[in-house]
Amino acid sequence: MRDGPSPATEGTETFVELARTGGARVERIASRAVSGGAWYEQGWAEFVLLVAGGARLAFADGTEHALSPGDWVHLPAGCRHRVAWTDPTAETIWLAFHLPAGPG
């Protein structure tokens, strides 16, 4: 249940929506050899888990956070972040859980 489309070319990412209800979404992301991806700043929280490969997330304050398979990060709403790097030798697979905006 982890197979899916692969990114065609280096430095790109492929997104597939796996589930969506009640304003929440589950997304599979496949990355290959990303280096300095686009910045994201979302009005909702995201919970991201690295399934395979390796990656580093960068934050607006200049810090970076390395992720190995099984590691996860909670990105609160408004947390500016981007993919700084993914393993150039293997495909990196993520699951991203987009939580609806608003209180619990």
Summarize as ranges the residues that interact with a second copy (CB under 8 A).
1-2, 18-26, 44-45, 47, 49, 51-52, 69-74, 77, 93, 95, 97, 99-104
Residue 34 or 75 with smaller CB distance to a second copy: 75
Q: How many CB atoms are closer than 10 A to CB 104? A: 3
Residue 11 or 54 with smaller CB distance to a second copy: 54
Amino acid letter, 59:
F
CB of 28 to a second copy, least distance (A): 9
CB of 7 to a second copy, least distance (A): 18
Amino acid letter, 34:
V
Residue 33 or 45 with smaller CB distance to a second copy: 45
The beta-strand segments (E) located in 22-80 are 24-32, 46-52, 55-59, 64-67, 72-75
CB under 8 Å to 102, separation ≥6 — which residues? none
